[in-house]
Structure 1
Amino acid sequence: MATETEYAEGGSGLVFHPLDQFIVKPLFGDGQVYWYTVTNATLWMALSVLGIMGLLVLGTRGAGTVPSRLQSMAEMTYGFIYKMVEDVSGKDAVRFFPYIFTLFLFILFANVLGLIPTAFTPTTHIAVTAVMALGVFLTVTILGFVLHGGTFLKLFWVSSAPLALRPILAVIELISYMVRPVSHSVRLAGAITAGHAVMKVFAAFAASALIAPLAIGGMVAIYALELLVAFIQAYVFTILTCVYLKDALHPHH
């Protein structure tokens, strides 16, 4: 998270740019960003993947009866997500556990690593969260039609409602279904972006001697809150994925 501040010309006041930390820049040199350009976003996504590999590979290497701290973290995370998939989506959804587990770990590591000063948080960009959300949406939709054929459309037909209202409710359900990738992605990106912007504002005020203690205290509190949000948002994205997967596996429920 960037913390650069500067003073306005003439020293009349403090000027800061809380959104500058979200700019995607080339990692080497300056210039335009193309699809093949290695950027700060690329770097921190790669570090997130390396962090996941470190947790799972190093944590399970030479696993013993008495687990190490790293092994305990890996096993607890594995068990937590496995139970979530089983409880929310059903036992027949366990075959999709690797995909859901990967989503959770990537979002979690990207969120947490983004709290390091001067780091870049990939999950603040819709381009990243939308790809994950769209992947979930397409997977669930294709799976629903593959498993159930045309009867998957019964998901939108509220048979318990009065007959006159069913067509209206079907349209509402269809619209709600189609906007899932939007809400799924915006929720994650919006929550992380808002928290980082607020921290940048408090960091800027910390440069002022008059309110520095208050600003620093606020930063510590918000930082702790953002650490919690990093876990919560990874959990929310993952549990919504499980809910959507349940609709594909059991559209009649």
Structure 2
Amino acid sequence: MAEAGGGIDPMAQFRVDPVVGADWTLLGHNIAFTNSAAFMVVILALLWLFMLGGMRRQLVPNRWQAMVEGFTGFVSNMIESNIGPKGRAFTPYVFSLFMFILLANFIGLFPLALIPGMHPFTVTSHITVTGVLAIMSFSIVLIVGFARHGLHFFSLFIPHGTPALLVPLIFVIELVSFLVRPFSLGLRLFVAMTAGHILLDVFASFVIQGINSGTAIGPVVSLLSFVMIVGVSMLELLVAAIQAYVFALLTSLYLNDAINLH
């Protein structure tokens, strides 16, 4: 974390820096392998190892297999309750989405700064990442909706029992509400992760400034700030899990609209 004015720059943790290939270009665009890409590769590798270790299908499952089955069962039950039997085909996608976001959120909270030359990086604190995930989910919803229902998919924007006089107004309102979904889906995760990490760095700055202040109240400020860091860290762990769940839950609800036209 870079220092700024004797403290900590809370925005330094979000900086995307090239790891290799800083001078690589393609069609005039830099294509360096960045720290963001590196962390996404690590996340995918961990997810692959997690699934590989839990797919042994032993008659008496070990703890690893039980944990994998617990996560898959959790997502499967969520799909079943929100979509029904027709949603089973989308369980792999929603599960992958949930696990990727969950691992990304947790890895960003690891104290990697304790290792020389390392610092934590949360890929879900970048709108480019959460936005792409949201657009992917929204695109699947549109493809499934039109593939299954054709132009009848537009009936989703006209609730049953709507008076004929209000149909044009309700249609526009429902359509705008539908089109806003990918923005709210991506922004919710981005804002939640960014805000928490900034707050942690702000309190860390208070700890350093309190120690270096040379005043009698300085150590008190540092101690209270450290206590707040511990509290916020616990809260961030909860937020990391909740945000992954909310993203997967909303994706399943949007798929339910496309499949069942509810």
TM-score between the two structures when normalised by the length of structure 2: 0.88
Q: Quote the residue 1:239 is aligned against.
A: 249
Once the 2 structures are TM-superposed, how far is the Cα of residue 72 of structure 1 from its aligned partner? 1.9
Q: Quote the residue 2:9 is aligned against.
A: 17
Q: Quote the residue 2:186 is aligned against.
A: 185
Give the paired residue count.
Answer: 243
Contact persistence 2:133–2:186 (CA under 8 A): yes
Once the 2 structures are TM-superposed, how far is the Cα of residue 223 of structure 1 from its aligned partner? 0.5
Q: Quote the residue 1:5 is aligned against.
A: 3
1:98 partner amino acid: P
Worse-superposed segment, 205-214 or 80-89: 205-214
Q: For 1:134-182, what per-residue CA distance to the aligned partner results, in whole angstroms no more than 9, with x for missing partners?
A: 1111111111111111111100012323322221111000001111111
TM-score between the two structures when normalised by the length of structure 1: 0.91
Paired with 1:216 and 1:170, the residues of 2 have a C-alpha distance of: 52
- Identity percentage over the alignment? 41
Q: What pairs with 1:1-253 in structure 2 (closer than 5 Å)? A: 2=1, 4-6=2-4, 8=5, 14-28=6-20, 34=29, 36-61=31-56, 63-117=57-111, 118-207=119-208, 208-209=210-211, 210=218, 211-251=221-261, 253=262
1:71 partner amino acid: Q
Once the 2 structures are TM-superposed, how far is the Cα of residue 22 of structure 1 from its aligned partner? 0.6
2:52 partner amino acid: V
Paired with 1:65 and 1:205, the residues of 2 have a C-alpha distance of: 53
Paired with 2:44 and 2:152, the residues of 1 have a C-alpha distance of: 39
Paired with 2:124 and 2:101, the residues of 1 have a C-alpha distance of: 7
Structure 2: runs of 5+ lacking an equivalent: 112-118, 212-217
SS in 1 for 2:165: coil
Structure 1: runs of 5+ lacking an equivalent: 9-13
Once the 2 structures are TM-superposed, how far is the Cα of residue 219 of structure 1 from its aligned partner? 0.5
**Inter-CA distance 89–227: structure 2 relative to 1 (3 Å threshold):** same
Paired with 2:246 and 2:86, the residues of 1 have a C-alpha distance of: 21
**Inter-CA distance 35–100: structure 2 relative to 1 (3 Å threshold):** farther
Q: For 1:160-210, what per-residue CA distance to the aligned partner results, in whole angstroms no more than 9, with x for missing partners?
A: 233222211110000011111111100011100000000011111111222
Paired with 2:21 and 2:141, the residues of 1 have a C-alpha distance of: 41
Paired with 1:119 and 1:16, the residues of 2 have a C-alpha distance of: 14
Contact persistence 1:26–1:32 (CA under 8 A): no
Q: Quote the residue 1:11 is aligned against.
A: none
Cα RMSD for the two superposed structures: 1.8
